[in-house]
Amino acid sequence: MMQRALNRRDFKTLALAAIGGALEYYDFIVFVFLAALIGKLFFPPDTPDWLQLLQTFGIFAAGYLARPLGGIVMAHFGDLFGRKRMFTLGIFMMSIPTLLTGLLPTYDSIGIAAPLTLLLLRLIQGAAVGGEVPGAWVFVAEHVPPRHVGFACGTLTSGLSVGILLGSLVAAGVNTFFSTADVIAYAWRIPFLVGGVFGFMGVYLRLYLEETPVFEELKRNRKLAEELPLKAVIREYRPAIVVSVLLTWLLTAALVVVILMTPTLLQKQHRISPAVALQASSLATFFLTIGCTAFGLLIDRIGAGKTFILGSLCLLGSTLLFYFSLDTAPELLFPTYALAGFCVGIAGAVPYVMVNAFPPKVRFTGLSSSYNLAYAIFGGLTPVFVTLIMKTQPMAPAYYVAAVCLLGIAVGIFLLRNDVHIADKSTKQASGVAA
């Protein structure tokens, strides 16, 4: 049977989901763009710069370590009671801690309670985003025809990237329009207070979304999971879990190192001013939003194997060019960072494989548990690991991303040659349910 084309309802769903995702992801990500400043405000003033940075990235990483628990719990209820409810709950859980962070007293006021409270707020945010991101991918993928799943996931990931861009722009604006003294005194709070407002806007937007047709069909035909969804996933879909974990490692290496850590590293290691570093980061993130949609379209056209081989090669070459030109050709900062940002867009193709790797009745749980477990390990530990290695090897970020790109090529070859064809089988299953 011929599959239908995308219609106005599909585009409305994609737009609302992407906008809401952008507003929520801004809340989670803006922290990292202010990492250097937060280190000075929330830790003792006599702490060495490298240790302040390590401690701050440690608190940032704590948000990732909390993702599996939040993701598994929210996915469990999402598979049993509906995608939309968890989709909306996640953004509400994100906005409250963001707002409170903007109101939090610093180390000078309450001492050690300041970083401990900041840590608690990051843990809550991590639990929220653990359910939000996988839920968002499942939500949009189940609303569109199977042959447009790559575009849908790429568009949603592009929306999440817009959240990163908003965080970068707001942080750059604060550093540009306020003096250093004013930023330290009060202006650092502005991005977090704005984020709280963004979060509540996201909750409002999601009231206009409808439950996915795939879940409604499962519910109508009484085909929802009859046992604990996680138990079924672990027992029956181990190859899908392995592939999802490895591709999430590629995604985290690209996003965490190239997009999130690098603005701070530009300031600390290469002595680039905060305003210039954040401007360059904003440009790279803008091209990331384009890259996510581009790679999502590409995977619909040529398949997962070829897309990840090509995308990983592009990411490897562009990141090496970017990092090695920082000292030898600093005038190329903006164009090389923009190119690397576009190639990081291969992250937009990752959810296509994960969505198609699990059947609808356990899809949310399978994707969420695999993705969040991998993100907790690789996303959470990467900032700390790379920062430690940089003490002896300044080019550690470049080498780390390059190594994981080789892994991405290997996974692409597996998807191209392996007889299992996880994505193709699951797409047919999803198509059958939707029909």
In-domain check, residue 2: no
- Residue 419: the pLDDT is 39
- Residue 332: the pLDDT is 92
Q: How many helices (H) and strands (E) does the chain have?
A: 22, 0
Most confident of 50-59, 148-157, 194-203: 148-157
In-domain check, residue 1: no
User: CB 422: neighbour CB atoms within 10 A?
Assistant: 22
Position with higher pLDDT, 241 vs 433:
241
Taking only the tens place, the pLDDT of each residue in 94-139 is 888 889 989 999 888 888 898 889 888 888 888 887 777 888 888 8
- When divided into structural domains, the chain yields a total of 1
Average pLDDT score, the chain: 82
> C-alpha dihedral over 23, 188, 336, 151, to 10 degrees?
-10
**Structural domain for 225, as ranges:** 8-434
In whole angstroms, give the CA distance from residue 101 to residue 188.
10
CA atoms within 13 A on the CB side of 167: 29
Closest among 172, 128, 229 to 34, alpha carbons compared: 172
Which CATH number fits the domain that encloses residue 254? Answer: 1.20.1250.20
In-domain check, residue 138: yes
In-domain check, residue 284: yes
Question: Quick one: how far is CA 425 from the chain centroid?
Answer: 26
In-domain check, residue 142: yes
Question: Quick one: how far is CA 287 from the chain centroid?
Answer: 15
In whole angstroms, give the CA distance from residue 210 to residue 208.
7
Position with higher pLDDT, 248 vs 2:
248
Please determine, for residue 196, whether its predicted confidence score (pLDDT) is greater than 70: yes
- Residue 420: the pLDDT is 37
Position with higher pLDDT, 406 vs 129:
406
Closest among 333, 334, 313, 314 to 325, alpha carbons compared: 333
Query: Cβ(330)–Cβ(92) under 8 Å?
Result: no
Model confidence band, residue 244 (pLDDT cutoffs 50, 70, 90)? very high
Question: Quick one: how far is CA 359 from the chain centroid?
Answer: 23
Query: Cβ(99)–Cβ(92) under 8 Å?
Result: no
Taking only the tens place, the pLDDT of each residue in 38-77 is 878 887 777 776 676 677 777 767 777 777 777 777 666 6
Share of the chain above pLDDT 90, in %: 27
In whole angstroms, give the CA distance from residue 365 to residue 432.
20
- Residue 145: the pLDDT is 86
- Residue 373: the pLDDT is 86
- Residue 75: the pLDDT is 65
Note the residue count of the chain.
Answer: 435
In whole angstroms, give the CA distance from residue 307 to residue 428.
20
In-domain check, residue 409: yes
- Residue 418: the pLDDT is 67
- Residue 312: the pLDDT is 97
